[in-house]
Structure 1
Amino acid sequence: MNNHIFFKKIAVFTLVAALSFSCSGGITRKSEQTQATAQQKSEQNIVYGELIVKEQSDYLMIPVGLTDKNQDRLSSYENRSSYYNNIIFYGKKDGQTNILLNKKAIITNFDLLEEKKVGKSSARYWLYQIINSDTNSDQKLDIQDARIGYLSDLSGKNLQQITPNNSQILSWTLVQSTGAIFIKIIKDSDNDQKFTEKDETNFIRVNLDKPVIGSEIISDEVEQKIKSLLVK
């Protein structure tokens, strides 16, 4: 009887010890992961690109990016892609600054647009291609995600989305006679969270006097008619 009680106590002690070790190991691993994440963030450093000066604008632009602190600062900047994470606008006359974006993003391209108007001063805008949403759910922002078009004034203010969510810009053309931008896009039409040759393309029109998300200019009806003529 005493032996039975003795072995029972040993079994209980062993079980408690095993559970304690398991919990301790889980806490340690979680702590290590948290420390690794914090270390990774601390190893990133802000890098400012070269000043962008346009005579047509009263603002200087300073591109902002991130680099690895463990790399040589100069070589890291020279080898990085032309993608940026934000842009600082600095007023040439008043010295006021403002930041383009208020969230994490990747700016893959930006172009100065000049709309020429008869008998009036030209209107100028910045056109950006920006990745700001993890559309393929891989826990990071990269060029595989949706690349959305935005317009702003020359100060970087009044930022306005002009292309649909869940699409990527392929090309664009400013048509002066219409005062509009025509943008070719590809849509994730099969909803597989990827942009491939299987997805549909279209063109949208964005009027510069009242920029909003543009509407597609090739309707479903027109596309079906084309398919009936070309696809057997």
Structure 2
Amino acid sequence: MKNYSFLNKITTVLIIATLSFSCKSAVNRKAEQAKATEKPKPQPNLVYGDLIIKEQSDYLMIPVTLPEQNQDKGIDLKLSRSYERSNQLLYNIIFYQKQNGEAHPLLNKKAIITSFDLLEVKTANKPTTRVWLYKIIDQDTNTDKKLNGEDATIGYLSDLSGKNLQQITPNNTRIISWVVVPSQNAIFLKIIKDSDNNKKFTEEDKTNFVRVNLDKIAMGTEIISDQIEQEIKSYVFK
């Protein structure tokens, strides 16, 4: 009797295991079939804004945005002093050569262009300097895995063709304002730095000014040194 009972138990276990394996196999097959029939979500179409035409340039400019996208409330889109403001984020600009039809994008990476302006500097006995100034968010400085108005806003310059793009303000900073000084053929930009390294830009952070020489465009040089700041503090807080 004991052997008979033992055999019954083994038989029952084998039947349950077989049924369980069959069910799992059926479920797995159905899951695999469902995955195979799933269609990947189509990418949204790009939206191209109105042409930007500058008589001083041999290039037309085409803004690139995405459809039905709400503006990040933290991003101030003052796109250009001569371009109508839009509530859509600008992800790139296509430059199109009027004469030969050659076209290329400004950026080769993911970014948000919050501002772009044509700088035209005229000085006596010198050719007129014309460059594009951009304010671009291209670094996830607050590490929330997305680009938004809480991240750094970096200054860039390019020529009229949208080529030779050069960063002019330091990483982990935000442009507050800028002004062109024609007599120096230079642009001065006021910036705020995340000086306390808390991944935010607040009133507690330090500000400074950066000078960029338009004769030889490169990363700007900060004007106010730590030594000068400490010297002034010794007078003010004496």
TM-score normalized with structure 1 length: 0.78
Corresponding residue SS for 2:161: coil
Q: Deviations over 1:121-147 (max 9, x none)?
A: 211000001111222221211121111
Q: Report sequence identity in percent.
A: 56
For residue 74 of structure 1, what is the aligned residue in structure 2? none
Corresponding residue SS for 2:235: helix
For residue 73 of structure 2, what is the aligned residue in structure 1? none
Higher helix share: 1
Task: Return structure 1 stretches of 4+ with deviation > 3 angstroms.
Answer: 1-24
Structure 2 Cα separation of the partners of residues 227 and 15 of structure 1: 77
Match of 2:112 among 106, 111, 117: 106
Structure 2 Cα separation of the partners of residues 9 and 79 of structure 1: 72
1:221 Cα deviation (Å)? 1.0
1:45 Cα deviation (Å)? 2.4
For residue 190 of structure 2, what is the aligned residue in structure 1? 184
Structure 2 Cα separation of the partners of residues 161 and 210 of structure 1: 13
For residue 128 of structure 1, what is the aligned residue in structure 2? 134
Q: Which runs of 5+ in 2 are unaligned?
A: 1-5, 70-83
For residue 46 of structure 1, what is the aligned residue in structure 2? 46
For residue 64 of structure 1, what is the aligned residue in structure 2? 64
Q: 1:83 touches 1:109 (CA, 8 Å); kept in 2?
A: no
1:98 Cα deviation (Å)? 2.1
Q: Which runs of 5+ in 1 are unaligned?
A: 70-77
Structure 2 Cα separation of the partners of residues 142 and 59 of structure 1: 29
Tell me the matched-pair count.
218
Q: Deviations over 1:200-219 (max 9, x none)?
A: 11111111111111121111
Matched, 1:218 2:224: yes
Report matched runs for 1:132-143 at 5 Å.
Answer: 132-143=138-149
1:53 Cα deviation (Å)? 1.6
Aligned residue identity for 2:141: T
Match of 1:159 among 147, 162, 165: 165
Q: 2:130 touches 2:160 (CA, 8 Å); kept in 1?
A: yes
TM-score normalized with structure 2 length: 0.77
Structure 1 Cα separation of the partners of residues 145 and 22 of structure 2: 37
Aligned residue identity for 1:213: M
Structure 2 Cα separation of the partners of residues 213 and 134 of structure 1: 20
1:97 Cα deviation (Å)? 1.9
Match of 2:174 among 168, 176, 179: 168
Q: 2:65 touches 2:88 (CA, 8 Å); kept in 1?
A: no
Seen in structure 2, the aligned counterparts of structure 1 residues 118 and 144 have a Cα distance that, compared at 3 Å, is same
Matched, 1:196 2:202: yes
1:17 Cα deviation (Å)? 8.8
Seen in structure 2, the aligned counterparts of structure 1 residues 198 and 14 have a Cα distance that, compared at 3 Å, is farther
Structure 1 Cα separation of the partners of residues 236 and 7 of structure 2: 91
Corresponding residue SS for 1:62: strand
Q: 1:82 touches 1:108 (CA, 8 Å); kept in 2?
A: no
